[in-house]
Structure 1
Amino acid sequence: MWHRRLLVAAGLALACAAPLHGLAQGYPDKPIKIYQGFAAGGNADAIARVVSTEMAKGLGQPFVVEAQTGAGGTIASGTVARARPDGYTLLLATGGHAVAGALYNKLSYQTVSDFQMVSTITYFPFLLVVRADSPYRGLAEMLAAARADARGVSYGSAGIGSTHHLAGELLVKSANVELLHIPYRGDAASVAALLGGEVPMIIAPPTAVLANIKAGKLRALATTGAQRWSQMPELPTVVEQGVPGYDVRSWAGFMAPAGTPRPVVDRLHAETLKALQAPAVRTRLEEMGGEARGSTPEEMTAMVAAELKRWTAVVNDAHIPKQ
C-alpha cells in the first residue's frame, strides 16, 4: 500500500516538473522581467538595465526592468520569491537583501532558501566622509575624538537599518568606540546634512558623494572595503587605519525563485558572466562606484548566507529595533 502511494507521489512530482523541464529546453522564448526594489533611475535600476541590455543580445529576448519600491526592497523580493520558477522573473538583489533578512521580523519569504542564486554582478564599498574643513584628517583622528568624548562622534546615514547604518554599528563594535547614529531619509538628505554642518561625518556610497569630493566640498576619511577603491587609490581602508578585520561592501546580483530548473539557471549565469566581460558594462559599473565581479550560483548562495549571519549579529549587538 505504502509502496503504491510512493509511486503515485513520485509520478505526480515528475508530472509537475515536466512542464518546467520543457520550458528549460526552449528557454527563453519571451521577454524576461527583472524586479528591483528601489527608485527608478537609482543605482539598482541602472545596474539591472546595463547588464540585462547586454544579456539580451545573447539570449535573443528583451528584459523589462520594473521598480517595485518600499520596505527596503522586501516587496520586490517577495514578488520574485512567489513567482513561477521558470526563468522569466528575476530579482536584482543588493546588499540590502541580507540586511532586510536581519532587520525584519516578519518577511513573506526566506532570505536564502526561497531563491535560486544566479550570479553576483558588482561589489562596491562605502566611504566615510567629512566636510573639507573638518578637523579630522584621517579615521584614526576621528576615532580618537570619539574615545575622548563620552558622547562619541555622530554620523549620518541613509536611514535606520540601511547597510550604511549597519556599517557604522560594525565600526562601533570593531573599533570599540562610541558613535551616535543620525538617520536621514536617503543619501541625498544625509549629504545635505553634512554640507550644512548638522553632522560631522556620514557613511555613503561613492555615487552619492563623489561629485562633492571632486568639487572640494567634502573629503573622504576611509573606504570600507577590504582593498582600496580603484577610483581613489590614495584613500586608505578602515583596516589600514587600525581597525582589523573590518570589511563592508554592498553588492548586487541576480536571483530567481527557488526551484528554477538548473539548465535555465546555467543559461542565465553564462550570459551574466559574458555581459560582465563587455567593456561598456564594466566601464558603466565602475562609473557607479562598483567592481564587476561574477560568481557561481553556489558562491553567491554562500555569500548571502554569510552576510545574513553577520548582519543579524550586528543588529542584535547594537539593539537595533526589529522592523
Structure 2
Amino acid sequence: MPTRRAAVAALLSTGLLPRMASAQAWPRRPVMLMHGFGAGGNADSISRVVANALSQDLGEQVVVEAKPGAGGNLASEQVARATPDGHTIILLTGGHAVSAALYKSLRFNPVDDFAFASLVATFPFVIAARADSPIQSIAQLVEAARREPGKLTFSSVGFGSTQHLAGELFAETAGIKLTHVPYRGGMQPLSDLMSGRIDLMVDSITVTGAAIRAGTIRGLGVTSREPWPALPEVVPIATTLPGFEVRSWIGIAAPAATPAPVIARLEGAINKALLSAQVREQLGFLGVKPEGSTPEGMKAFVVGEIERWKRVVRASGIEQL
C-alpha cells in the first residue's frame, strides 16, 4: 500500500489536492451573484430570494449585482471572463438560450464558457393590457391587430430576450403584426403600459402579477398550456391559439473551469434551498415553479433550449443578428 506521504505526493503531482483544498475552503469571501436585467424585474427578484438562502447555507454573503443590457449578454460576458474560483456566479434566464439562437456570434460561448450548477425555476409569461383598454381578450387582440397591422406595440426586457421572442412567436402563430418596444428590464414597461406609452406588455408574473391582482392592468393570456397557479384567473393563450406554449427558466452557472467540487457544493446549496418551504413560498408568489437539477442536467437543458429557439427563429423569419 502506498504511504500517506506517497499518496499526498501523487495528488500534488496531478494538481488534485490544491483543487480539493480550494473547494473545501470555498467560499472564502462574499460571492457575487450577477444577472443581466433591471431592478425589480423577474431575474432581480428571484436572484434575491436565492441569494438570501445561499448566504445562510454557504456561510458567506451572496451579493446580487445587476448589469443590465443586451438582453442579459453584458452580464454573461463579464461572468464568462471572471476568475473561475466560484466567487463570481450568474443567474441565467431563458434569454441566454434565445441570444444563442438569435445572434450569429456572441462575445462568449453560451455553453462552453460556463460551468452550469443547477436550474432554479421555470415559469410562463403573461400578455397584458391596460385595465381600460378596449382589448379585453386574446381574441380581441388578434382581431384589432388584423385591422391595423403593426399599430399595436408590445414591450419586452430587451431585444433578443425570451419575452421578445415569445411576443414574436405569438404574432407569428396568430398571423398578425405587432411592433416590438425593447426595454432594459425592471418595472419601466409596467409604468409605460399603465400610462399609455405602449399597448401591451409581454412579461413574467413577477412583474405583472401584483398589478393584475389589483386590477390596474388586465392579463389577456398566459403562455403556459394550462392555467398557472399564481394567476389562475388568466386564461391560457392556447385556449384561443391551440398548441401555443412558452415557458422560460432560471438557472445558476459559474465561469468554465470553476473546480468541480465548488460546482458540486453550489449545486447542493441551490437544491437544498429549493426544498425550503419559505423559499418555495417566495418563488411561488413571484409566479415561478421551483425546479432544480444536476449540473449535467442543466447543461443538457440549455443545449436543448438553444436548439428549440433556433427552430423558432427560422420558422418565424426573424433575421439573425
Same fold (TM over 0.5): yes
**Partner of 1:307 in structure 2?**
305
Counterpart residue type for residue 201 of structure 1 = L
8 Å CA contact retained: 1:126, 1:225 = yes
Deviation at 1:76, TM superposition (A): 1.7
**Partner of 1:156 in structure 2?**
154
Q: 97-106 vs 160-169, which deviates more? A: 97-106
8 Å CA contact retained: 2:42, 2:207 = no
Q: How does 1:289-308 map to 2 (within 5 A)?
A: 289-308=287-306
**Partner of 1:221 in structure 2?**
220
Deviation per CA, 1:79-129, whole angstroms, max 9, x where unpaired? Answer: 222233332221111122112222333322111122121111122221111
Shift in CA distance, 190/63, structure 1 to aligned 2, threshold 3 Å: closer
Structure 1 alignment gaps of length 5 or more: 1-10
1:287 has 2:285 as partner:
yes
Deviation per CA, 1:23-55, whole angstroms, max 9, x where unpaired? Answer: 224433333222222234543233223212222
Q: 77-86 vs 161-170, which deviates more? A: 77-86
Q: How does 1:17-96 map to 2 (within 5 A)?
A: 19-96=18-95
8 Å CA contact retained: 1:223, 1:236 = yes
SS at match of 1:126: strand
Shift in CA distance, 154/16, structure 1 to aligned 2, threshold 3 Å: farther
Deviation per CA, 1:51-89, whole angstroms, max 9, x where unpaired? Answer: 122222222222232223332221221222223333222
8 Å CA contact retained: 2:225, 2:236 = yes
CA distance in 1, matches of 2:197, 2:44: 30
CA distance in 1, matches of 2:212, 2:232: 14
**Partner of 1:269 in structure 2?**
267
Deviation per CA, 1:163-206, whole angstroms, max 9, x where unpaired? Answer: 2221011113334x112223143564543444344554332222
**Partner of 2:126 in structure 1?**
127
1:253 has 2:246 as partner:
no
**Partner of 1:230 in structure 2?**
229
**Partner of 2:169 in structure 1?**
170
Counterpart residue type for residue 254 of structure 1 = I
Shift in CA distance, 218/29, structure 1 to aligned 2, threshold 3 Å: closer
TM-score (norm 1): 0.83
1:103 has 2:120 as partner:
no
**Partner of 1:116 in structure 2?**
115
RMSD: 2.8
Deviation at 1:299, TM superposition (A): 2.2
Counterpart residue type for residue 154 of structure 1 = L
Deviation at 1:135, TM superposition (A): 4.1
SS at match of 2:152: strand
CA distance in 2, matches of 1:234, 1:193: 24
Deviating above 6 A after TM superposition, structure 1's stretches of 4 or more consecutive aligned residues are none
**Partner of 1:185 in structure 2?**
183
Shift in CA distance, 49/219, structure 1 to aligned 2, threshold 3 Å: closer
CA distance in 2, matches of 1:38, 1:210: 18
Deviation at 1:309, TM superposition (A): 1.9
CA distance in 2, matches of 1:118, 1:89: 13
CA distance in 2, matches of 1:40, 1:213: 20
Deviation at 1:14, TM superposition (A): 6.5
Counterpart residue type for residue 81 of structure 1 = A
Deviation at 1:240, TM superposition (A): 2.9
CA distance in 1, matches of 2:56, 2:205: 30
